[in-house]
């Protein structure tokens, strides 16, 4: 057969055979689990990977103590409280039932020790002692808790005490608790390390951390258990694998083992089928914009915060970025002023967007610069 005819035939055949494309593993639906409510989120991107009744209100039990500790950390950050400050244990704190650190009434205990009793041992006595020391009374402290909940956007949460002991008005949701957990880790990484401790000894009594996942999985580093008869067994967990942190919240399971098993199943699902990475760093030059009537003709645009994206495994390389920039930007421009949008697309669908902001200010130009730009725009 003529060589030319053979080559034409082979070319035509190649058009008929579809190109080989690397297969991307499908993502199955999240597992259906025996809990009243649960959520699985990526810490950096905030993407929700699994959910059940995440905005339905439930009793949070001792999960409440994450907020109690958060308020204490805020007081330390503001300089109004020191780790070595001495706290006098009240009769109310000492006699409160439930889990205990076993502090003694009338004795003084350092804030640092009480935080360990709260976080590791889940001691109601330590928790109330801290609340009374910061707020003057537990009721005032609960008001502080609600103020911080409001600032964090915890729209379906109301605290009436610092411990999570049952009260019909003391409620939260899986979504709100995940928001609080994320804020705790992001704002107080030094204090957060305490949530990974396996045990703590006070008054010659050693008590283990009730989070079973700390003993099963060395990638888990927190966060908090909770249990009452009315709330069931609850657990907030977080783990880091390959620089990807996930947070799970499980509310209302039947046992200590069940809450650990369900949390482990959620974390396993997230790590098996998703990946997360940083696409752009905060403050990095991403684009430029024309500024009219300004002291400078151009300014650089970027992001206020790091942009992380969570996608099904194998899909990160298929992401596309679309940048939209305002066309009529006039000076003065403030640093951080939104002037466009960054949209991250996957298979033609937007999965996340963030404002493009000015990375430096541009002052109003002098009369010559303003007049020149006015004339240019008139002719355009």
Same domain? 53 vs 197: yes
Pairing of strands 307-312, 244-253: unpaired
pLDDT at residue 15 in the model: 39
65 is an active site residue: yes
pLDDT at residue 11 in the model: 37
* Structure token pair of residue 82: 């020191």
Q: What percentage of the chain exceeds 70 in pLDDT?
A: 93
| Band (272; pLDDT cuts 50, 70, 90) | very high
Q: What percentage of the chain exceeds 90 in pLDDT?
A: 85
Mean pLDDT across the stretch 262-275? 97
The pLDDT tens digits for 301-355 are 999 999 999 999 999 999 999 999 998 898 899 999 999 999 999 999 999 999 9
Whether 5 maps to a domain, the answer reads no
pLDDT at residue 360 in the model: 95
Mean pLDDT across the stretch 120-135? 98
Same domain? 52 vs 89: yes
Whether 20 maps to a domain, the answer reads no
pTM over 0.75: yes
Same domain? 259 vs 289: no
Same domain? 217 vs 185: yes
Q: Give the position of tokens 């880790």.
A: 185
pLDDT at residue 23 in the model: 47
pLDDT at residue 25 in the model: 58
230 is an active site residue: no
Task: Put the strands of the sheet holding 232-241 in their side by side order.
Answer: 48-52, 37-42, 244-253, 232-241, 220-228
Same domain? 297 vs 232: no
pLDDT at residue 68 in the model: 98
| Sequence-ordered strand ranges (E) for the chain | 37-42, 48-52, 86-88, 108-110, 199-202, 205-208, 220-228, 232-241, 244-253, 274-280, 287-290, 298-302, 307-312, 319-325, 338-346, 349-358
The pLDDT tens digits for 189-228 are 999 999 999 999 999 999 999 999 999 999 999 999 999 9
Residue 154, pLDDT above cutoff 60: yes
| Sequence-ordered strand ranges (E) for 74-122 | 86-88, 108-110
Whether 285 maps to a domain, the answer reads yes
Select from 286, 277, 281 the least CA-distant residue to 357: 286
Catalytic residue, chosen from 62, 90, 263, 276, is: 62
pLDDT at residue 238 in the model: 98
Catalytic residue, chosen from 52, 65, 100, 116, is: 65
Whether 12 maps to a domain, the answer reads no
Same domain? 237 vs 300: no
Final residue before a domain boundary, out of 222, 239, 273? 273
Q: How many domains does the chain have?
A: 2
Same domain? 139 vs 252: yes
Whether 93 maps to a domain, the answer reads yes
122 is an active site residue: yes
pLDDT at residue 6 in the model: 35
Final residue before a domain boundary, out of 241, 256, 273? 273
Owning domain of residue 232: 37-273
pLDDT at residue 12 in the model: 39
Final residue before a domain boundary, out of 246, 273, 300? 273
Mean pLDDT across the stretch 66-89? 98
Catalytic residue, chosen from 122, 162, 263, 276, is: 122
Mean pLDDT across the stretch 97-126? 97
322: domain CATH number is 2.60.410.10
């Amino acid at each position: 057969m003529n060589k030319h005819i053979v080559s034409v035939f082979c070319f035509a055949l190649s058009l008929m055979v579809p190109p080989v494309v690397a297969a991307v593993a499908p993502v199955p639906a999240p597992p259906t689990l025996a809990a009243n409510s649960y959520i699985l989120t990526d810490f950096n991107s905030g993407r929700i990977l699994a959910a059940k009744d995440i905005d339905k209100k439930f009793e949070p039990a001792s999960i409440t103590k994450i907020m109690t500790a958060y308020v204490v950390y805020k007081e330390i950050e503001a300089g109004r409280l020191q780790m070595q400050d001495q706290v006098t244990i009240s009769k109310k704190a000492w006699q409160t039932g439930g889990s205990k650190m076993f502090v003694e009434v009338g004795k003084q205990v350092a804030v640092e020790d009480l935080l360990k009793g709260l976080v590791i041992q889940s001691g109601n006595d330590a928790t109330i002692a801290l609340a009374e020391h910061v707020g003057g009374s537990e009721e005032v402290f609960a008001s502080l808790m609600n103020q911080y909940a409001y600032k964090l956007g915890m729209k379906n949460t109301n605290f009436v005490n610092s411990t999570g002991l049952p009260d019909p008005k003391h409620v939260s949701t899986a979504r709100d608790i995940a928001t609080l957990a994320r804020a705790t880790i992001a704002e107080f990484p030094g204090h957060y390390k305490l949530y990974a401790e396996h045990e703590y000894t006070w008054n010659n009594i050693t008590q283990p951390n009730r989070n079973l996942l700390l003993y099963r999985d060395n990638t888990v580093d927190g966060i908090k258990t909770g249990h009452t008869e009315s709330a069931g067994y609850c657990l907030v967990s977080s783990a880091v694998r390959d620089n990807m942190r996930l947070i799970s919240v499980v509310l209302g399971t039947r046992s200590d083992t069940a809450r650990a098993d369900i949390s482990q199943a959620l974390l396993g699902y997230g790590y098996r089928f998703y990946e997360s990475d940083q696409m752009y760093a905060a403050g990095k030059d991403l684009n430029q914009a024309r500024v009219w009537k300004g002291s400078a003709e151009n300014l650089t645009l970027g992001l206020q915060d790091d942009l992380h994206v969570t996608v099904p495994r194998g899909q990160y390389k298929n992401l596309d970025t679309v940048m939209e920039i305002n066309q009529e930007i006039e000076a003065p421009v403030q640093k951080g002023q939104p002037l466009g949008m960054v949209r991250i697309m996957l298979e033609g669908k937007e999965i996340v967007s963030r404002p493009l902001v000015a990375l430096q200010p541009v002052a109003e130009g002098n009369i010559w610069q303003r007049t020149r730009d006015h004339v240019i725009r008139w002719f355009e």
